[in-house]
Amino acid sequence: MGLNIVQKIIKSHLIEGEMNAGELVGIRIDQTLTQDATGTMAYLEFEAMGIPEKKTELSVSYVDHNTSQMGFENADDHKYLQTIAEKFGLHYSRAGNGICHQVHLERFGIPGKTLLGSDSHTPTGGGMGMMAIGSGGLDVARAIAGFSFYITYPKVLKINLTGKLPAWVSAKDIILYVLELLTTKGNVGWMIEYGGEGVKTLSLPERATITNMGAELGVTTSIFPSDEITLAFLKAQNREDGWKELRADDDAKYDRIIDIDLSTLEPRVATPHSPGNVKMVSELTGMKVDQVCIGSCTNSSYKDLMTVAKMLKGKKLPLDMSLVIAPGSKQVLEMITENGALSDLIAFGARIMESACGFCIGNGQAPATDAVSVRTNNRNFKGRSGTESAGIYLVSPETAAACALTGVMTDPRDLGMEPPEITFPAKFKIDDTMIIHPIMQKKEIKIYRGPNIGNPPTNEPLADEFFGEVALKVGDKITTDHIMPAGIRLKYRSNIPKYSEFVFEPVDSTFPARCLSNKEKEKANIIVAGLSYGQGSSREHAAICPSFLGVKAVIAKSIERIHWANLVNFGIIPMIFADEEDFEKIEQNDELEMTNLIQAIQNKGSYIIKNKTKNYEFEVKLELSSREREILIAGGVLNTIKG
């Protein structure tokens, strides 16, 4: 029987385990990437392992998140990251060079390779045929040190594309349609493989938009074939030597197949406050728009910005709105500068931001109170923009530009103009001077540490029994932004005691103080949650900081993949309600008793917890691999490496 693309890459990188659905497998990681919001802690963890140099083929440290420098913290961390890269043989992409996912596509990605990144949108690399997976920083640190990366052998969904997109419909509308079909929850353990004749109608940046926002589905990753479209992109980047064809065998099997006729799609929009709340743009036509933001790792490529520039050329921004544009990379910015498109955008009234994540992560450009902000990025969680009351609507660049032209929500098909034709250059502008390459002959390099940089917190081995308090009960779809706010708080990411003061700040600002009080009384803290707990960003601080506060377990209806791994890595037990009705019975401040924990974790299956406050028992599932059981008993991954 033939193999699909997912199976081919796993087979060629398999180190441990068998290729059977649901079984734990360890794969070799060829490349890693980090960004500065997660990378500082990842490299502190790597240092703690005592490994003298990287073991991967290529590892890149990007600075693209915390580029605003209000105080010393971010600048100090950037200096730390640069000296780490020089010490251990990493590439270092300086602030201003661009967003990690866009730059990695341009300068480093190779079809058929595995890529592990400490950012949940690392699957962007799947657009060029990489198996690109987002994870917590500790897993990336382990990969840099040469250890396997573990995943559950996935079920594979093939999305078979036929036809061709109509005028004014783009790749963003494809992935929004997929989100409409599959939703943001219930897809853990799956990978998506795109195929069919329709694939050949999509440029590589369009494919990358689709795999990028596949992260919102909760799948492990998404991947496209590597074909003549991929080769053309790599040739334009002067990197065709890395190309190889990658396609599924004709008799490959899949666990599920969905057919999408591209010709039937129309412009879509994700409405507040989830990427899965998808409607047709035509349903919201005429709604007042206060702000338009174009950029992020989802839609900031040369094609995206040239499309917008051609739509806006010769026109003017309405008086009562703001337009913000952030090119995805220095390469994109230089190219639209040289061909005049940047001047067209500025003449229209656009505010040009640096090539960084910026508004997507709430780092600047917060909308006004109760404003409607139309954006091309990938997440619209409540408050993520920096304004709690704002409504964030996610759209394609074409729809965003249409809104900027009219000042209201507008279907671009209603503009009465022809869609712009974008011709890809035979050669992109290549200037890697903002990338510091590893030095060939190593010398003694002193790693810089500013006063805001600490060490990864240590954890004690698992106690066999403990009494705990439900320190917080939350509902469905709690994101890592709820748990560990970004924006202005991100500058404390390398200072765990300080950053821990803000755990669950958007939900309950008293949570850290209550946890520390319980910790002083040697009482464990427990979090109870509903469906899809921990969705969103890969930031492992959403596990590190609760662990620092004495959180020992999360009991939920379901937990998302990356966050589950992060919880285990830092010694927090992920538990799933055996009966979801027990979620309704339990309340915040209830006292829970857990006994014979080590034996329960060593054995597969269920576990009984006693609610002492209400005097009843309930069952949870401990769906743990043998490796996860070992880690939890040791108190976290770092303890297993040191031990």
101 versus 640: the higher-pLDDT residue is 101
- Residue 280: phi and psi, rounded to 5, are -75, 140
User: Quick one: pLDDT band at residue 490, thresholds 50, 70, 90?
Assistant: confident
378: nearest Cα among 295, 477, 287: 295
Query: Strands 591-594 and 466-473: what pairing?
Result: antiparallel
Least confident of 211-225, 229-243, 284-298, 599-613: 599-613
Predicted local distance difference test score (pLDDT) of residue 441 = 58
Rounded distance, CA 337 to CA 341, Å?
A: 6
User: Quick one: pLDDT band at residue 642, thresholds 50, 70, 90?
Assistant: low
Query: Strands 278-280 and 58-62: what pairing?
Result: unpaired
Q: Over 90: is that where the pLDDT of 319 sits?
A: yes
The alpha carbon of 109 is separated from its chain's Cα centroid by a whole number of angstroms, namely: 17
Amino acid at the residue 159: I
Rounded distance, CA 23 to CA 21, Å?
A: 6
Q: Region 135-161: what's the mean pLDDT? A: 96
Contact 49, 641 (CB under 8 A): yes
Rounded distance, CA 237 to CA 107, Å?
A: 7
Structure confidence by residue, pLDDT tens digits, 520-559 = 999 999 999 999 999 988 789 999 999 999 999 999 999 9
> pLDDT averaged over the chain?
94
> What's the order of all strands across the beta sheet hosting 372-375?
278-280, 268-270, 391-394, 372-375, 291-294, 322-325, 351-352
Q: Over 90: is that where the pLDDT of 198 sits?
A: yes
Contact 218, 121 (CB under 8 A): no
The token pair that represents 408 in the structure block: 């209201």
H or E segment to which residue 43 belongs: helix 36-49
Contact 113, 129 (CB under 8 A): no
441 versus 473: the higher-pLDDT residue is 473
Rounded distance, CA 161 to CA 260, Å?
A: 5
Predicted local distance difference test score (pLDDT) of residue 74 = 87
Q: Region 181-191: what's the mean pLDDT? A: 90
* CA-derived radius of gyration, the chain: 24
Q: Over 90: is that where the pLDDT of 439 sits?
A: no
H or E segment to which residue 115 belongs: strand 114-117
The token pair that represents 59 in the structure block: 């590892």
Superfamily of domain 466-637: Aconitase, domain 4 (3.20.19.10)
Q: Region 576-601: what's the mean pLDDT? A: 95
Predicted local distance difference test score (pLDDT) of residue 643 = 41
Rounded distance, CA 584 to CA 587, Å?
A: 8
Count other C-beta atoms under 10 Å from residue 443's C-beta: 7
399 versus 466: the higher-pLDDT residue is 399
The alpha carbon of 481 is separated from its chain's Cα centroid by a whole number of angstroms, namely: 12
Q: Over 90: is that where the pLDDT of 60 sits?
A: yes
User: Quick one: pLDDT band at residue 443, thresholds 50, 70, 90?
Assistant: low
Rounded distance, CA 382 to CA 420, Å?
A: 34
- Whether residue 273 has a cis bond before it, omega within 30° of 0: yes
Predicted local distance difference test score (pLDDT) of residue 22 = 85
Per-residue CA distances from 246 to 235, 257, 348 (Å) = 17, 19, 42
**DSSP H helix total and E strand total for the chain:** 21, 27
Which CATH class, in words, describes the domain spanning 283-414? alpha beta
Least confident of 51-55, 173-177, 225-229: 51-55
Q: Where are the alpha helices (DSSP H) in 97-214?
A: 100-107, 137-144, 171-182, 204-213
Rounded distance, CA 448 to CA 141, Å?
A: 19
Q: What is the pTM of this model?
A: 0.92
Secondary structure of residue 479 in the 3-state scheme:
strand
Rounded distance, CA 636 to CA 469, Å?
A: 21
> Where do the domains of the chain lie?
283-414, 466-637
Contact 392, 272 (CB under 8 A): yes
Rounded distance, CA 108 to CA 48, Å?
A: 27
Q: Over 70: is that where the pLDDT of 173 sits?
A: yes
Side-chain-side CA neighbours of residue 415 (13 Å) = 24
